[in-house]
A and B are shown apart, each in its own frame.
Chain A
C-alpha cells in the first residue's frame, strides 16, 4: 500500500497510458521494487513473470500484490 498512486481511492486508480505500456513499465513508473511484485493479474487472469513485458490492451484492469497467501 506504500506504493499506491497518490490519487488512488480504495486501492484503485484509473490511468491513461500509451498503447505500448506494459505491467513492468507501470511497476517501475510507480517505483515499486520488482522484488515486491509477486501476484500480477490482468482482468483477473494470472500474468507470469515472463509475460509482464507484454503491452496492455484498452480498458484492461491491472492488479498487483506483494507476497500474499491465506486460507
Chain B
C-alpha cells in the first residue's frame, strides 16, 4: 500500500476543505505523484482552460514511496496547466515538504477555484484549515517562511510558498519549499499566486504506514541503499562535487551553450564550475561551497550549501545575504552564467539566492536574460527600455540587476518576467527565443548532444532535461555509452528514458538514483510497499501510459506535432567549435522514427490503438 488513500480537495472560491478517498483504480495504473495527478487533471480540467483562470487546478502530489525509508523518497510534484507553455506542467521538488505532507496523512492536495483574498493552507495531520494571508502577501518566500514558523512555533513545520515574482505575474515563478528547494519550472508558482494562495504549511507526525510487507521492504530498501553507496557516481561523485561538476565536462564536450546559444563553448566555464566552488577566495579564505546537503531520506546528498564573498559588489551592503543558503546547481549556473556570458561565481550565487528568495525558475530566468542581452546587442532593447542598464553579454552588474527587478516585477522586470518567447516576440525577433513550446532550454546544446534535441522537442512540458536525460548515455556512459554526435538510435534511447523517468517520478523517487539504479532496483522496493504485483514491466507500462496521457492532454490543449521542433538557430546554424564543429541538430532524422516507436500518427497524434493499449480515458 503506502498510499494514504486520502486526498484533500480545497475549493478556494468557496473557502472549503474536503476529504476524499484516493481513486485506487487510477493509482494502480498511474502509480502516484506525476502520473496520478495527471490523471486527475485529465478528468477534472479542460485542457484549453486559461492557465491563470479559476478553472485551472493546482495539485500537490506525493508518490507511494514518498515519506518512506526508500532512499530519496522525499519527492513531491506540482501538477497544473502551465501559463508559460499552455501544456501540462509537472514540477518536481525535494527537500522535506513532500514527506511531511505524506506523513500528515495525505497523498495529494487539489486546489481549485480562486480565493477572493490571499489565503494559506495550514495542515497539522487531520486538522486542515484555510487561513487569511493578507499579512504574507507582498512578502518574499523567505519572509513568508519565517513568519509562518514564528506563528506555528514548531521548527519542524514545512512550508511551500510563492514569492513576490509570482504575485507580480512573472510567468516562470516557482513554488519554493524548505527555503531553497523548488518546484521550479513552467510557472507553477504563477498559477498558485493567481489563485491568491500564498503558502501551504504542513506538519505531519503519523509517518507512512500501510506498507504491504514491512520486513521485505526494510530488507529491499537497505539492499538498494548499499547499491547507491557503492556506486562511484552516487556514492562519491555527486556528494563531493554536486551537479556543477558538469560545467567543465560539458564545455569540453562542446555542448555548453553560451551567449544565448550562439556558441557551444564558454571560455570562462572553469570560473563558475564545481572546481571553482571549492577554491578558497582571497577575502576570507573560505570556499564558495560550505557543505553538501541531502533531501528527506536521501543517501546521495548532492545538494550544495554556499556563501557569497562578503566583499562582492552584489552583497557588500547587504549583510542579510552573507550567510549560508542553497548554492548553485549546474543547470542554474549554466543559464545565469554561460548562457549570459557571465563568469562571476559570486554574481551567480547571488542571483541563485534571489531566485530562491522570491521564487523564480533560474533556468528560464537566465535564458531570458540571455535573450534580452542579444536583443540589446542588436539594438531592439535599449537603455530607454531598461532605465539606463546596459544589458551586455558578460555583465555581472546587468545580471544581478535583472534578478532584482524580476523578483519584484518593477519596470523592465515585468518584460523579463514574460519569459524569452514573449519577450522576443514583443521586441520583434521571435527566433532569438531558445525555447520549445515556450519553455527555455537547459544546459546541453543539442548540436553537441543530439539525443537532447529530440528530448527537448518532444518533452511534454516544453524544453527540459529531466524528461529523458540521455546525457547519461551520450556523455557519461550510463547505462551504456552512445555517440553524442550521431542521431542513429536516439529515438529509441529517448523513448526508453522518457518512459522509465515517468515511472521513477511517479513512485516519489529522485531521478538521480538512476545513475546507479535501474527499474530492476526499484521494482522490489515498490513491490514490497504497495499492494498488487509491481514488476519492471508493469512500471515501464505505467511510465509509457503516463507519457501518452500527458501527450493527450497537450494535444487537447491545442498543441500539435508542429510544436515538436527547435529554434532555427539549432537546426540551421552549425556549432562553431569543439567536437560538434560544423554540426546542427539533426532533429528531422530522429522525430519520425520516434513517432513510429510511440505508435503515433506522422503528425504526432495518439492513435486509438495506443489509447486502447494503455486504457487511456476517453
Contacts and interface: CB of A to CB of B under 8 A. Distances in A.
Given A1-B275, A10-B270, A44-B579, A67 B253 contact: no
B330 A66 contact: no
A67 B236 contact: yes
Interface stretch (B115-123, B467-475, B559-567): B467-475
B481 A46 contact: yes
A43 interface: yes
A70 interface: yes
Contacts of B321: none
B55 interface: no
B241 interface: yes
Contact of B237 (A12, A41, A66): A66
Interface of B is mostly: helix
A67 B254 contact: no
A11 B331 CA distance: 21
A11 B249 CA distance: 12
Contacts of A39: 249, 476-477
Contacts of B242: 70
B579 A71 contact: no
Interface of A is mostly: loop
A63 interface: yes
B35 to A, nearest CB: 20
B232 interface: yes
A69 B471 CA distance: 9
A40 to B, nearest CB: 10
A37 to B, nearest CB: 10
A65 B237 CA distance: 10
A68 B246 contact: yes
B405 to A, nearest CB: 29
Contacts of B476: 39, 68-69
Interface residues of A, number: 21
Interface string B329-340: 111000000000
Contacts of B579: 43-45
Contact of B252 (A1, A38, A41, A69): A41
A67 B244 contact: no
A18 interface: no
A71 B254 contact: no
Interface residues of B, number: 40
B249 A67 contact: no
Contact of A71 (B248, B253, B465): B465
A67 B237 contact: yes
Given A11-B248, A44-B254, A44-B578, A69 B481 contact: no
A43 B512 CA distance: 28
Interface string B303-347: 000000000000000000000000001110000000000000000
Nearest to B243: A70
Contacts of B330: 70-71
B252 A44 contact: yes
B278 interface: yes
A68 B241 contact: yes
Interface string A55-69: 000000101011111
A19 B253 CA distance: 24
A5 to B, nearest CB: 15
Contacts of B244: 70
A41 B253 CA distance: 8
B515 A1 contact: no
Contacts of B511: 71
B193 interface: no
Contacts of A45: 579
Interface in B176-209: none
Nearest to A1: B275
Interface string B506-533: 0000011001000000000000000000
A43 B472 CA distance: 19
Interface centre among A11, A43, A69 (most CB of B within 10 A): A69
B190 to A, nearest CB: 24
A67 B472 CA distance: 12
Contacts of A41: 249, 252-253
A69 B238 contact: yes
Contacts of B578: 44
Given A38-B232, A39-B476, A44-B579, A71 B512 contact: yes
B477 A65 contact: no
Interface in B235-261: 236-238, 241-246, 248-249, 252-254
9 contacts: A38-B237, A65-B245, A65-B249, A68-B237, A69-B237, A70-B243, A71-B330, A71-B472, A71-B512
6 residue pairs, one from A and one from B, having the closest CB atoms: A70-B243, A67-B232, A67-B237, A70-B246, A44-B579, A68-B245
Interface of B: 232-234, 236-238, 241-246, 248-249, 252-254, 270-271, 275, 278, 329-331, 465-466, 469, 471-472, 475-478, 481, 484, 511-512, 515, 578-579
Interface of A: 1, 10-12, 38-39, 41, 43-46, 48, 61, 63, 65-71
